[in-house]
Amino acid sequence: MSDTDKELRVSKIRDGTVIDHVTAGQALNVLAILGIDGSGGESVSVGMNVPSDKLGLKDVVKVEGRELSQSEVDVLSLIAPEATINIIREFDVIEKNRVERTDSVTGILVCPNHNCITNADEPVRTEFAVLDDGVRCSYCGTMVREGDVAEHIDTRGSGETDL
């Protein structure tokens, strides 16, 4: 059975985004990046620890009526570097993209240093430089290891780019 066949076990969506090949166990963090907690009424399907030829196990997230902003994709690349993003219109995949690691990510992440000026109600978006093994706050210099990045996603959500 191919990867795609297994993917079909999760219901198809009409318009929206399928984020596939997500590192197993990271699906809920992907939802956090998208600012989705169910309260917004989005139709969401999540597959966790689904068998994958490529990754062994993977997660899949399907979101109806939503595309990803560049900042969301940038952070996604940190927690799920193998992810593919499929944009769906009328049940067809019209675009398929791999995530790419960027030099920096803006917004989405919160600096873990409580004394950082980005946590002080100033008119500023967070910015983190991407290092080999994590990220670093461009304001205060605090570093976050790659494995800990998911803990610092802004759970208030970005609410960007509705379809």
Binding residues: 111, 116, 137, 140
Q: Residue 5's CB: how many other CB atoms inside 10 A?
A: 8
Q: Which CB sits closer to another protein, 1 or 120? A: 120
Side chain identity at residue 21, one-letter code: H
Contact flag: residue 123 with another protein (CB under 8 A): yes
Give min distance, CB of 59 to another protein, in A: 30
Contact flag: residue 141 with another protein (CB under 8 A): yes
Residue in 106, 140, 154, 157 binding another protein, rule: CB under 8 A:
140
3-state SS assignment for residue 131: strand
Side chain identity at residue 65, one-letter code: G
Q: Which CB sits closer to another protein, 69 or 139? A: 139
Tokens 């297994």, residue located: 6
Distance CA 133, CA 96 (A): 27
Asked if 44 contacts 52 with a C-beta cutoff of 8 angstroms, the reply is no
Residue in 57, 93, 94, 124 binding another protein, rule: CB under 8 A:
124
Q: Which residues bind another protein (CB under 8 A)?
A: 113, 115-118, 120-124, 136-143
